[in-house]
């Protein structure tokens, strides 16, 4: 990968000067003067191309117009060469003018890749390192952060999000989701110019020069301690020494719409389906159905009323053309016994979601320098609006950064840089507690639930609540500041020393003010005869009458020092680095909350009069480590790298603190051997490599090694013992709420977890570099994982003390392919792709002799496996035996359950899953009797006897891939990037996935394919109300398991760069305009289930089993932008 | 160059500094320096309170009140005898045993608190341990008893088999005795004191005394436990600090705290936006799972006689619900609504599946416009243990010990009957029940010997009447299922006899063609509503018709005809095993793998 184009250009110039220096002037008598210009295949004049007479050291280099002039023998040959271009030889044949067209060399074999504490030539890499094509991955895309942009860019790098919510960091994993067993985190370390950055959101994509992913232990070892799960190295753009100042400006305007969201079904079909669900048990028993149901408060429905809903829909649709005011007699009618029949369906999607949410980004940067001074300054702004219509939710980022480097004299370079980022996020205040967000309620009730106004009053709905929080949005802000000071000492030729001190401050604050919402409380029951505005009241609980502010700051000091020495002896090249890395961090958090805000125009803590609650947190840790690395190669053929790191962490007690971690890698470039000559035209480069190493993981909770008493302060609505209005401890009259937890059993000898990686790889290039292939196989194994102690009986009353015991390993494969070609007409195409797959298996864990299949870990467990039943089909009428009365015959079993009698099965076939008034009947699910015992059951629930359960899927993303097709032609550029996951399963609950999960709530268009006597090959079973439990037909099974594999067009980019001839006239170096799209379309295997395939349970939806899918939608974005360089 | 070397040396020496890596916890107590003051010990003890004194619960989490009556006759349950063998350790949990043992040990070894404080807090720890073991033994029967904090290396202790329940109850008695002798008489508002210990001692010793007696587990310990209950109750009676108050319903529905209620020995306090619960909303506007006709029939008629015997009540007159609740033990109207409440009939109070709605926990002022009565924002204080319970328990203890005399009746049940109770706290007081009079082996009321045709013949007439009084006094306070368990009377819970449904599977009886007031004329809005409900009932078929063909007297609820019939076959292990829960199979297997034995309760040997 290119470090950057600027750098290439610089290197090219420097080498040209070298070339010139080598020329010793020997003129031949029969020489003629040859002139000409050198251009590339796009017609751009090439500056600084070396033009040398073959077989001599005579040569010149081209000037700024690409022109050259040389005295050369008439029968000689001119050789044109430049870095990044294919060497070109042209016989003179007596001509006086020779114009040359040089072709770009597709692969820069001298390409430099950023590695730990330095750079390495790509051809000389021996570890598993991938670099990202920064210009294609980050530039001219309407993305809000680097994390999401990296999705699909690098083999082995997995980027996932759980919803389309604004802000926040995606989950980033390198090679495994399970490096640790419950204690440690599996997150890779993200290093920005060699220092950890807490979140990728703090980095302006535009400031990035390179991104490299270090995947194996050998590559990351040098970072030790926190790089056990891999490292993502980011370097920022620096100034250049060429004396020129460049100014770049880019901007992008985009509009986002939701991707794939569920659509509420037609109002009457929805009500009808719900009515059938709630009568499902009665109808199944042949009882008379209940005629009428309430949904909530005054909302009732019955078959007669559903007919009117249909009539309303036929006449008015979803109220298009009507205003929101509800008219009695048209939109609803009074129910004689109190409450109402609501006929009007609401177009919730249009009410709640914006059609297009705008976003804009602007970036400006200035870079330049002189011989001694280099500088770079940049500023960026991102303003992203959310998709909510009734509340303007938004996400903003402001970045500034500066970089200055000064050569004081030939020995000393001083440098300093700063980064400042501010993030702001506005979201609506949640009057329904932290469990729910507006979208939960939007999808909760039928579309006929009153969402309009009556007599001008809003009804109780998220719309009213979002409107109420408009004035006081919940604001979360964070500020990231980094100041670094450093110096490089050029001590002698090849010997340098670097010293850096970096201070990081991350401050995060939030403010939320609740209040009261007044409206028509349509959650209350209405006495007969009362109008809809009878319950016009303040309906929110007083527990939301508060203002709360939180703030935290995280301060980190980093001290880095290292000495590097580089020397070659003949064909032996060596490079040595030794250094130290010391870090400490302190984290302080506090929150204050006060009830009873006087005036919500001024929601401040000191303008509130109620009770106050505060909380805080305070933690710190420190690590220090020493490292060394030796690189050796012989003739660029045999490559060897040895690393050593010794680390200490405050997370372990004195005596268990230090760990030593050696690692190494080696590679052999077979293509440089003489025996390869025959194959060289086909395989011009071939390298095999291998690495092995171990790194310590200290990313585990603090204070694991001594017993603590955790003190809990009372929180609002908590389950605590109330004593007094004031919580003042230590007197016998006012202790209240504050409690001390039981100290656990501890193991003082806990120490580092070790993560080892064995990696074998091949790098090959074919057909003169047109085609490239990289393959890696690895086995990443965690040993000494901190796990639960040995299995002990419950009688001890505590978990067994943790110990360094567990082992878990991940084996995987990564493939990277690329292809480049330039056609004679100048059309350049490039294709690239990457593929990753891995699987994590528990090797060692304190496992019961016959563990429960549901245990979090046991020996041999494949992480993410989902156990469940296989479904054969739905039962049909002919599966049952009927009596003379036409009813299904029943039988009373010994355990008191009455079951329907099957024609060809044991009456107790699925009896285990029968409860209450539910009996398996036509339209219900028939599970497969996998063990052939004639009965469906789960055996002992343990691995030795799982009855009819088997592995039906896996929650981990498998077969992750991405591929890109790009083309350039005469200033036009085109690039399309696809990304996908080959397999991911999820067992989800809630009405979107399992219709009838809550019979009184929404039904969706995609769930209407349910079993009836007329629709016998339906996908969903007969309508039933499952009372919020995955029971009866909804045992975990393959039939209703989500298949979240997908192939998505992540990015499409189409641009045009104006010819320089034109732009130069207006002093513009480069002007590019483009169109770009994100998430434009996708293919998935959800079989009609209308949720985005990237969706997962979020921390909010996990709180309620009904709510899968009721989270913030993903975005589909169209954008236009401009890039300008002066 | 030299300078650079100095800088490197300086950095390296800094990094070798051990202090740089010592980072003790900043926001949690390190246990080794925690047990140094009484304040810290109190803080630790506080963490246990809500485990045993949950009261009405918090948020949407229930306590034992109201729903604690599920699976008993207080509260109709459509479940079958559905307990299945536990495969994992839910419930089989010793973390509180460890917590109390740890506290006991640390307090005992503390060198910085006074002897008096040390004894008090050791008493608290032992009181907690007795409460914990009483919960464990009530669930599982036999249990291993531990009096110290265990380590994973104490194999013979942690793999100990269950000890006979009699031994554990003996240990429980020792703990209660120690607590009663050492816990402070007063220790501030809302804190456990000696009276609280004594009151819980009455409750738990009555429980285990009768459990051991009727299940024939250990008659010696049974008697010892009953005598402990007797002793503790007598301490409280003699202390004369508590008295029965007139406003029965008010004791359960007072906002905030019960500090001025003379009947309440220990209560849980609630406050808006701090600690709130949802019980009021459940009995207020939401639909509640109703109680059964059995519970209503249990209340004596105002003449002190059972309804089937009382000439005043005139059972054969086939009363409707609103008539049946008049002229009865006044606690009936203090606990239940005075008219039928069915889904769709909009009244201030909520409706019930059986038509019988509980209002024991409903504040008189409850109003849907006031948020503290809605959702989970209720602030009514819970009377965790009250003098009324102590008295009715004392009466039962004395009867079990064969010492129930007129003097005991006067000191207990007749005190409860002396309450002056008003319907809905307005108007004149309802007539009081006559005194209970002991006459040999019988009870008389107004001189009439009570002879309840429904009496279980295996229960003596005196005990039968005391048990009746207990249900009337403690209805919906979470005792009924445990009472039936200790008396070994789960058979009362069967919903069906050969002749038809038992009164446990029926709800409120009403006139299918006329109910409510004359204002409910067919043309009135409410009248129309009634017709709609009636039609709904007709189609639903969930009514029980007392006389075939005659729909003027029907019961709202009919478990007999639903598929949820519940039977009880005496002697059949599949039923009898319901008394003690299964020990989790994973534990049994673990013991076996390690060469130890953990004995299962009878009837749970196979997975069902």
pLDDT per residue as tens digits for the range A551-579: 999 999 999 999 999 999 989 999 999 99
At residue A23, the pLDDT reads: 41
CA torsion angle for A109, A115, A118, A124 (degrees, to 10)? -40
3-state secondary structure of A975: strand
At residue A109, the pLDDT reads: 45
The phi and psi torsions of B493 (rounded to 5 degrees) equal: -90, 0
Calculate how close chain A gets to B443, using CA atoms only, in Å. 40
Predicted confidence band at A400 (pLDDT cuts at 50, 70, 90)? very high
At residue B498, the pLDDT reads: 67
**Among the listed residues A580, A612, A607, A579, the one whose alpha carbon sits nearest the alpha carbon of residue A595:** A612
Bridge partners (DSSP) listed for residue A969: A972
Nearest neighbour of A525 by CB, restricted to B146, B285, B526: B285
**Among the listed residues B85, B83, B84, B78, the one whose alpha carbon sits nearest the alpha carbon of residue B566:** B78
CA A361/CA A254 separation, integer angstroms: 9
Interchain proximity B99–A850, CB inside 8 Å: no
Contact by Cβ (8 Å): B301, B328: yes
Residue A1062 pLDDT > 90: no
CA A214/CA A131 separation, integer angstroms: 9
Q: In a mutagenesis test of the B interface, which of A281, A608, A797 is the best target, namely the one with the most B β-carbons within 10 Å?
A: A797
Residues A255-302 have pLDDT tens digits of 999 999 998 899 999 999 999 999 998 888 877 788 889 888 899 999
Interchain proximity A580–B12, CB inside 8 Å: yes
Q: What is chain B's Cα-based Rg?
A: 28
What average pLDDT does this structure show over B82-89? 60
ipTM: 0.83
Mean pLDDT of chain B, nearest integer: 86
Query: Model pTM greater than 0.90?
Result: no
At residue B476, the pLDDT reads: 92
At residue A812, the pLDDT reads: 94
Mean pLDDT of chain A, nearest integer: 87
Q: Which of A212-226, A400-414, B519-533 has the lowest mean pLDDT?
A: B519-533
Nearest neighbour of A917 by CB, restricted to B272, B563, B607: B563
Question: Is the pLDDT higher at B442 or at A136?
Answer: B442
Question: Is the pLDDT higher at A848 or at A1038?
Answer: A1038
Crossing angle between the packed helical segments B165-182 and B115-140, to the nearest 10 degrees = 150
Residue A1 pLDDT > 70: no
String of DSSP letters for A384-419: EE-SBSSS--EEEEEEEEEEEEEE-SSSEEEEEEEE
Calculate how close chain B gets to A456, using CA atoms only, in Å. 21
Say what percent of chain A tops pLDDT 90: 50
**What single-letter DSSP state applies at residue A372?**
S
What average pLDDT does this structure show over B569-591? 86
- Chain B environment of A489 (Cβ under 8 Å): 4
What average pLDDT does this structure show over B81-89? 59
Assigned token pair, A353? 């979601």
At residue B12, the pLDDT reads: 54
- Chain B environment of A940 (Cβ under 8 Å): 87, 585, 607
CA A327/CA A325 separation, integer angstroms: 6
CA A814/CA A187 separation, integer angstroms: 19
What average pLDDT does this structure show over A56-81? 83
Question: Is the pLDDT higher at A154 or at A29?
Answer: A154
Residues A379-398 have pLDDT tens digits of 999 999 999 988 899 999 99
At residue A234, the pLDDT reads: 92
Dihedral over Cα of A1024, A1029, A1031, A1035: its sign: positive
Predicted confidence band at B405 (pLDDT cuts at 50, 70, 90)? very high
Residue A28 pLDDT > 60: no
Please write down the long-range contacts of A441-445, taking CB distance under 8 Å and 24 or more positions apart.
A442/A348, A442/A352, A442/A1110, A443/A262, A443/A264, A443/A348, A443/A992, A443/A1002, A443/A1109, A443/A1110, A444/A1001, A444/A1002, A444/A1110, A445/A295, A445/A296, A445/A299, A445/A1001, A445/A1002
Say whether residue B275 is in contact with chain A using an 8 A CB cutoff.
Answer: yes
- Chain B environment of A942 (Cβ under 8 Å): 87
Q: Which of A68-77, A1034-1043, B563-572 has the lowest mean pLDDT?
A: B563-572
Calculate how close chain A gets to B522, using CA atoms only, in Å. 12
Distances (CA, A) of A37 to A50, A211, A467, A488: 12, 37, 68, 41
Calculate how close chain A gets to B433, using CA atoms only, in Å. 37
Interchain proximity B188–A711, CB inside 8 Å: no
Please write down the long-range contacts of A376-381, taking CB distance under 8 Å and 24 or more positions apart.
A376/A236, A376/A237, A376/A238, A376/A239, A376/A401, A376/A402, A376/A403, A377/A401, A377/A402, A377/A403, A378/A204, A378/A206, A378/A207, A378/A237, A378/A402, A380/A204, A380/A206, A380/A207
Helix (H) or strand (E) holding B39: helix B38-52
Nearest neighbour of A710 by CB, restricted to B28, B150, B191: B28
At which residue do the structure tokens 């060497």 appear? Answer: A87
Nearest neighbour of B273 by CB, restricted to A580, A611, A708: A611
- Cα–chain center distance at B414: 23
- Chain A environment of B188 (Cβ under 8 Å): 732-733, 735
Interchain proximity A711–B344, CB inside 8 Å: no
At residue A1066, the pLDDT reads: 84
CA A869/CA A854 separation, integer angstroms: 14
**What single-letter DSSP state applies at residue A927?**
E
Tell me whether residue A656 is exposed, middle or buried, using C-beta atoms within 10 angstroms of its C-beta: 0 to 12, 13 to 18, 19 or more.
middle
Predicted confidence band at A892 (pLDDT cuts at 50, 70, 90)? confident
Interchain proximity A742–B98, CB inside 8 Å: yes
Say whether residue B11 is in contact with chain A using an 8 A CB cutoff.
Answer: yes
**Among the listed residues A883, A927, A938, the one whose alpha carbon sits nearest the alpha carbon of residue A905:** A927
Assigned token pair, B44? 């630790």
**What single-letter DSSP state applies at residue A794?**
G
- Chain A environment of B381 (Cβ under 8 Å): none
* Nearest residue in chain A measured CA to CA from B370: A539
Residues A357-366 have pLDDT tens digits of 999 999 999 9
Residue A134 pLDDT > 90: no
Bridge partners (DSSP) listed for residue B496: B501
**Among the listed residues A209, A255, A511, the one whose alpha carbon sits nearest the alpha carbon of residue A383:** A255
**What single-letter DSSP state applies at residue A85?**
B
Residue A11 pLDDT > 60: no
Predicted confidence band at A343 (pLDDT cuts at 50, 70, 90)? very high
Crossing angle between the packed helical segments A267-278 and A303-316, to the nearest 10 degrees = 170
Helix (H) or strand (E) holding B214: helix B194-214
Say what percent of chain B tops pLDDT 90: 52
Contact by Cβ (8 Å): A126, A639: yes
Residues A1015-1024 have pLDDT tens digits of 999 999 999 9
Chain B, residues 349-378, CB within 8 A of chain A, namely 368-369, 371, 375-377
Residue A407 pLDDT > 60: yes
Residues A750-801 have pLDDT tens digits of 888 899 999 999 999 998 888 999 999 999 999 988 887 777 888 998 888 8
Q: Which of A602-606, A682-686, B73-77, B408-412 has the lowest mean pLDDT?
A: B73-77
Interchain proximity A896–B44, CB inside 8 Å: no
Question: Is the pLDDT higher at A979 or at B493?
Answer: A979
Interchain proximity B536–A290, CB inside 8 Å: yes
Say whether residue B597 is in contact with chain A using an 8 A CB cutoff.
Answer: no
Predicted confidence band at A735 (pLDDT cuts at 50, 70, 90)? very low
Q: In a mutagenesis test of the B interface, which of A288, A710, A743 is the best target, namely the one with the most B β-carbons within 10 Å?
A: A743
Residue B53 pLDDT > 80: yes
Assigned token pair, A821? 């070609």
CA A1101/CA A1098 separation, integer angstroms: 5
- Chain B environment of A745 (Cβ under 8 Å): 151-152
CA B133/CA B138 separation, integer angstroms: 8
CA A708/CA B247 separation, integer angstroms: 47
Residue A3 pLDDT > 60: no
């Amino acid at each position: 990968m290119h470090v950057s184009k600027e750098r290439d250009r610089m290197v090219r110039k420097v080498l040209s000067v070298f070339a010139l220096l080598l020329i010793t002037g020997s003129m031949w008598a029969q020489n003629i003067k040859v002139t000409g210009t050198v251009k590339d295949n796009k017609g751009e004049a090439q500056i600084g191309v070396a033009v040398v007479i073959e077989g001599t050291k005579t040569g010149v280099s081209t000037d700024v117009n690409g022109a050259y002039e040389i005295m050369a023998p008439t029968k000689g040959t001119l050789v044109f060469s430049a870095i990044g271009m294919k060497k070109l030889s042209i016989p003179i044949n007596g001509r006086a003018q020779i114009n040359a067209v040089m072709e770009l060399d597709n692969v820069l074999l001298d390409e430099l890749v950023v590695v730990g504490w330095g750079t390495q030539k790509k051809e000389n890499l021996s570890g598993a390192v991938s670099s990202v094509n920064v210009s294609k991955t980050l530039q001219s895309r309407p993305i809000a952060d680097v994390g999401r942009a990296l999705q699909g860019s690098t083999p082995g790098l997995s980027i996932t999000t759980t919803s389309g919510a604004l802000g926040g960091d995606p989950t980033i994993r390198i090679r495994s989701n399970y490096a640790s067993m419950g204690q440690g985190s599996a997150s890779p370390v993200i290093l920005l110019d060699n220092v950890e950055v807490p979140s990728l959101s703090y980095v302006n994509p535009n400031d990035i020069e390179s991104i490299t992913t270090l995947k194996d232990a050998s590559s990351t070892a040098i970072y030790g301690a926190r790089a056990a799960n891999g490292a993502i190295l980011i370097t920022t753009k620096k100034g250049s020494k060429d004396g020129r100042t460049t100014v770049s400006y880019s901007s992008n305007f985009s509009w986002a719409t939701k991707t794939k969201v569920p659509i509420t079904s037609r109002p009457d079909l929805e009500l009808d389906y719900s009515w059938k669900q709630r009568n499902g048990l009665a109808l199944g028993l042949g009882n008379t159905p209940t005629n009428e149901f309430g949904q909530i408060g005054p909302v009732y429905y019955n078959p007669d009323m559903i007919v009117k809903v249909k009539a309303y829909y036929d006449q008015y649709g979803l109220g298009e053309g009507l205003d929101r005011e509800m008219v009695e007699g048209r939109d609803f009618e009074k129910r004689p016994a109190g409450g109402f029949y609501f006929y009007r369906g609401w177009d919730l999607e249009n009410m709640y979601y914006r059609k297009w949410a705008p976003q804009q980004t602007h970036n400006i940067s200035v870079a330049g320098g002189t011989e001694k001074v280099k500088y770079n300054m940049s500023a960026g702004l991102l303003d992203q609006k959310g998709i909510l219509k009734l509340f303007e939710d938004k996400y903003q980022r402001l970045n500034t950064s500066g970089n200055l480097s000064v050569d004081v004299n030939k020995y000393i370079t001083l440098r300093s840089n700063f980064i400042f980022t501010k993030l702001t996020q506005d979201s609506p205040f949640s009057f329904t507690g932290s469990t729910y967000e507006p979208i939960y309620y939007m999808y909760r009730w039928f579309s006929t639930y009153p969402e309009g106004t009556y007599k001008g009053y809003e009804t109780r709905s998220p719309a009213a609540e979002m409107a109420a929080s408009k004035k006081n949005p919940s604001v979360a802000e964070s500020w990231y500041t980094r100041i670094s000071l450093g110096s490089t000492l050029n001590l002698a030729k090849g010997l340098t020393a670097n010293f850096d001190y970096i201070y990081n401050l991350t401050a995060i604050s939030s403010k939320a003010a609740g209040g009261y919402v007044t409206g028509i409380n349509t959650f209350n029951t209405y006495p007969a005869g009362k109008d809809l505005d009878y319950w016009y009241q303040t309906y929110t609980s007083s527990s939301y009458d508060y203002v709360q502010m939180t703030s935290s700051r995280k301060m980190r000091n980093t001290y880095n020092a290292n000495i590097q020495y580089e020397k070659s002896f003949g064909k032996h090249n060596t490079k040595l680095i030794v250094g130290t890395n010391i870090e400490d961090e302190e984290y302080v958090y506090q929150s204050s909350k006060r009830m009873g805000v006087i005036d919500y125009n001024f929601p401040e803590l000191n303008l509130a009069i109620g009770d106050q609650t505060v909380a805080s947190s305070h933690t710190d840790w420190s690590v220090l480590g020493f490292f060394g690395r030796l690189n050796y190669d012989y003739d660029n053929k045999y490559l060897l790298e040895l690393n050593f790191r010794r680390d200490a962490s405050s997370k372990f007690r004195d005596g268990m603190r230090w760990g030593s971690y050696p690692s190494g890698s080696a590679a052999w470039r077979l293509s440089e051997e003489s025996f390869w000559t025959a194959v060289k035209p086909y395989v011009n480069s071939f390298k095999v490599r291998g690495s092995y190493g171990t790194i310590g993981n200290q990313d585990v909770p603090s204070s694991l090694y001594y017993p603590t008493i955790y003190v809990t302060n009372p929180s609002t609505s908590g389950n605590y013992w109330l004593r007094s209005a004031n919580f003042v401890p230590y007197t016998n009259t006012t202790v209240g709420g504050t409690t001390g937890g039981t100290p656990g059993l501890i193991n003082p000898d806990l120490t580092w977890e070790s993560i080892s990686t064995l990696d074998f790889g091949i790098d090959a290039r074919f057909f003169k570099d047109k085609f490239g292939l990289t393959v890696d196989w690895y086995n990443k194994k965690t040993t000494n994982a901190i796990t639960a102690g040995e299995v002990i009986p419950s009688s001890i009353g505590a978990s067994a003390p943790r110990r360094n015991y567990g082992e878990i390993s991940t084996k995987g494969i990564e493939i990277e392919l690329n292809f480049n070609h330039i056609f004679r007409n100048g059309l350049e195409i490039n294709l690239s792709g990457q593929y990753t797959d891995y699987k994590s298996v528990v090797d060692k864990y304190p496992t019961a002799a016959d563990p429960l299949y549901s245990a979090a870990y046991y020996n041999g467990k494949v992480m993410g496996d989902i156990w469940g039943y296989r479904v054969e089909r739905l039962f049909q009428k002919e599966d049952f035996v009927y009596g003379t009365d036409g009813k299904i015959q029943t039988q009373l079993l010994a355990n008191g359950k009455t079951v329907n009698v099957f024609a060809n099965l044991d009456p107790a076939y699925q009896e285990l899953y029968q409860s209450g008034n539910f009996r398996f009947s036509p339209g219900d699910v028939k599970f497969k009797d996998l063990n052939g015992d004639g009965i469906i059951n789960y055996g002992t629930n343990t691995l030795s006897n799982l009855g009819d359960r088997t592995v039906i899927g896996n929650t981990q993303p498998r077969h992750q891939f991405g591929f890109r097709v790009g083309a350039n032609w005469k200033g036009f550029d085109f690039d399309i990037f696809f990304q996908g996951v080959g397999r991911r399963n999820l067992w989800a609950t809630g009405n979107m996935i399992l219709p009838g999960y809550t019979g009184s709530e929404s039904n969706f268009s995609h769930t209407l394919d349910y079993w009836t006597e007329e629709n016998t090959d339906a996908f969903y079973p007969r309508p039933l109300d499952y009372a919020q439990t995955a029971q009866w037909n909804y045992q975990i099974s393959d039939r209703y398991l989500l298949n979240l594999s997908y192939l998505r067009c992540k990015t499409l980019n189409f641009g045009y760069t104006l010819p320089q001839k034109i732009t130069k006239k207006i002093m513009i170096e480069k002007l590019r305009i483009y169109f770009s799209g994100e998430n434009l379309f996708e293919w998935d295997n959800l079989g009609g289930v209308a949720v985005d395939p990237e969706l997962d349970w979020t921390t909010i939806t996990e709180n309620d089993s009904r709510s899968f899918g009721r989270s913030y939608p993903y975005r589909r974005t169209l954008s236009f932008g401009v890039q300008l360089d002066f | 160059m030299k300078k650079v070397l100095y800088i490197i040396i300086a950095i390296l020496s800094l990094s070798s500094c051990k202090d740089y890596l010592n980072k003790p916890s900043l926001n949690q107590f390190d246990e080794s320096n925690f047990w140094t003051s009484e304040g810290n010990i109190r803080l630790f003890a506080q963490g246990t309170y809500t485990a045993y004194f949950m009261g009405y619960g918090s948020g949407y989490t229930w306590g034992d009140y109201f729903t604690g009556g599920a699976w008993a006759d207080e509260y109709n349950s459509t479940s079958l005898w559905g307990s299945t063998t536990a495969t994992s350790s839910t419930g089989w949990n010793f973390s509180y045993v460890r917590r109390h043992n740890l506290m006991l040990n640390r307090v005992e070894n503390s060198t910085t608190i006074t002897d008096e404080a040390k004894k008090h807090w050791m008493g608290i720890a032992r009181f907690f341990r007795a409460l914990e073991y009483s919960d464990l033994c009530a669930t599982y029967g036999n249990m291993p008893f531990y009096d110290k904090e265990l380590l994973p290396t104490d194999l013979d202790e942690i793999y100990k088999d269950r000890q006979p329940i009699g031994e554990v109850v003996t240990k429980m008695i020792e703990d209660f005795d120690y607590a009663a002798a050492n816990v402070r008489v007063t220790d501030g508002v809302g804190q456990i004191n000696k009276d609280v210990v004594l009151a819980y001692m009455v409750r738990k010793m009555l429980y285990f005394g009768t459990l051991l007696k009727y299940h024939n587990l250990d008659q010696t310990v049974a008697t010892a436990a009953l005598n402990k209950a007797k002793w503790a109750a007598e301490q409280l009676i003699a202390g004369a600090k508590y008295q029965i108050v007139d406003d029965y319903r008010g004791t359960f529905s007072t906002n905030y705290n019960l500090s001025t209620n003379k009947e309440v020995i220990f209560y849980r306090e609630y406050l808006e936006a701090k600690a709130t619960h949802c019980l009021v909303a459940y009995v207020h506007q939401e639909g509640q799972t109703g109680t059964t006709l059995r519970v209503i029939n249990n209340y004596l008629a105002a003449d002190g006689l059972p309804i089937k015997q009382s000439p005043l009540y005139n059972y054969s007159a086939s009363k409707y619900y609103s008539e049946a609740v008049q002229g009865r033990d006044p606690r009936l109207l203090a606990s239940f609504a005075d008219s039928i409440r069915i889904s769709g009939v909009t009244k201030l109070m909520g409706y019930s599946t059986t038509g019988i709605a509980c209002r024991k926990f409903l504040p008189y002022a409850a109003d849907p416009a006031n948020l503290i009565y809605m959702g989970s924002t209720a602030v009514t204080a819970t009377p965790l243990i009250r003098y009324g319970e102590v008295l009715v328990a004392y009466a039962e203890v004395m009867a079990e010990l064969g010492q129930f005399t007129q003097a005991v009746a006067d000191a207990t049940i007749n005190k409860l009957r002396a309450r002056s109770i008003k319907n809905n706290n307005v108007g004149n007081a309802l007539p009081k029940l006559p005194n209970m009079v002991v006459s040999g082996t019988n009870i008389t009321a107004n001189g009439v010997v009570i002879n309840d045709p429904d009496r279980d013949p295996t229960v003596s007439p005196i005990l039968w009447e005391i048990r009746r009084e207990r249900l009337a006094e403690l209805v919906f306070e979470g005792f009924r299922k445990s009472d039936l368990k200790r008396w070994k009377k789960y058979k009362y819970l069967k919903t069906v006899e050969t002749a038809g449904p038992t009164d446990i599977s029926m709800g409120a009886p009403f006139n299918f063609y006329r109910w409510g007031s004359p204002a409910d004329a067919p043309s009135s809005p409410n009248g129309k509503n009634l017709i709609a409900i009636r039609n709904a009932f007709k189609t639903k078929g969930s009514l029980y018709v007392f006389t075939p063909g005659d729909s003027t007297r029907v019961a709202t609820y009919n478990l007999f005809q639903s598929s949820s019939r519940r039977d009880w076959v005496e002697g059949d292990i599949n039923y009898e095993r319901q008394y003690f829960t299964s020990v989790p199979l994973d534990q049994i297997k673990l013991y076996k793998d390690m060469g130890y034995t953990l004995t299962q309760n009878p009837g749970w040997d196979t997975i069902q």
